[in-house]
Amino acid sequence: VSDGDDSRPPTADWRPSRAKQDWFAEPPLRGFQQRVQTTKVCYRKESCAQRIEVVDSVPFGRMLVLDGAVQTTERDEFIYHEMLVHPALLCHPDPRQVLLIGGGDGGALRRILQHPVSTVTMVELDSQVVEVSQRYLPSVGGTAILDHRASLLIEDGVEFVKHCDLKLDAVIVDSTDPVGPAKALFAEEFYRSVHRILADDGVFVTQSGSPLLMPAELHETYHNLRQVFPVVRLYLTPVPSYPGTLWSFTFASKGRDPLGVEPGVIRQRLSDRAISPHFYTSELHFGAFALPSFVEEALKGGRPIDLLA
């Protein structure tokens, strides 16, 4: 949170403020910057892993900010979390054993638990993200963390997967961006570990950053997944609180294809599982995977996707 003339992220000597004219902005990327007006700072502390902030904003309501980057907000968390979880879990007929890496705010866990899962193991690096989210953003995760099917481990996701001997129907990564502490969650080595613990008909999905502002990172993520999995599918969705709005997710599997499912089957599964999403629909399931022509071409040619080139 900064004054109107300050585009730097909050720094260590930054002070909570209640002035109505404050603006929050992530650092500019590629000469582009998104700012939101803020009204109140609710929380700010350095945890073991990162700087955690909770800020009230005019456009998005309350926001969770980690190391200066917006993670989730009251008003648009449903878009991100539904589009992270539902496409992968709805293309699986019976996802029982699920691993969630990251997702400390509880929003992904809440959507996973809407599916007929037996157990969800949530591996989050930073217990303070979980605590702060439950206290300041209770609407995001609800009471998901208390569900008897969910278990929370405070642990490094990469290490967990390396030594894991579960066989999983779905692995979902809800992490910060592939810069800093989460970088290893986008590496080929990590994806090889995921491949090992994933059932033959299992599904994997990860948030994969901004296609506008981090195209090199997205290219690397896609490329790394292609080294390991035969089916890799990028999809896009708008998340207004994230810089540049347009956001990417990448799906991968040993064979299961989200575009290989009939629309009627998706609708039936939504109905059987009694899920009524606020954003996701069976039409959007296919719409989100419909990529712009030049993105398709770039993926086919193994070239980076760059909307601003």
- Report the first-to-last Cα separation within the chain, whole angstroms: 31
Taking CB under 8 A as the binding criterion, the range among 9-17, 134-142, 154-162, 275-283 that sits at the site for a second copy is 275-283
Q: Is the dihedral of CA 164, 234, 79, 201 positive or negative?
A: negative
Contacts of 149 (CB under 8 A, 6+ apart): 113, 117, 118, 119, 120
Out of 17, 127, 139, 281, name the contact with a second copy by CB under 8 A: 281
Q: How far is the CB of 34 from a second copy (least distance, A)?
A: 5
Site string for a second copy, 285-304 (x = CB under 8 A): -xxxxxxxxx-x--------
Write out the two tokens for 83.
Answer: 């589009």
Q: Which residues of 47-74 are buried (b: 16+ CB within 10 A; e: fewer)?
A: eebbbbbbbbbeebebbbbbbbbbbbbb
Residues identified as active-site:
174
By CB under 8 A, tell whether 248 contacts a second copy. Answer: no
Taking CB under 8 A as the binding criterion, the range among 4-12, 41-49, 104-112, 222-230 that sits at the site for a second copy is 4-12
Owner of token pair 């890799």? 232
Q: How far is the CB of 128 from a second copy (least distance, A)?
A: 28
Site string for a second copy, 61-80 (x = CB under 8 A): --------------xx--x-
Residue 229 DSSP code: -
Contact 249, 237 (CB under 8 A): yes
Nearer to a second copy, 34 or 127 (CB): 34
Q: How far is the CB of 236 from a second copy (least distance, A)?
A: 8
Rg (CA), the chain: 19
By CB under 8 A, tell whether 28 contacts a second copy. Answer: yes
Smallest CA-to-CA distance from 56 within 26, 18, 27 is with: 18
Nearer to a second copy, 23 or 43 (CB): 23
Residue 272 DSSP code: H
By CB under 8 A, tell whether 245 contacts a second copy. Answer: yes
Q: How far is the CB of 275 from a second copy (least distance, A)?
A: 11
By CB under 8 A, tell whether 19 contacts a second copy. Answer: no
By CB under 8 A, tell whether 283 contacts a second copy. Answer: yes
Nearer to a second copy, 143 or 294 (CB): 294
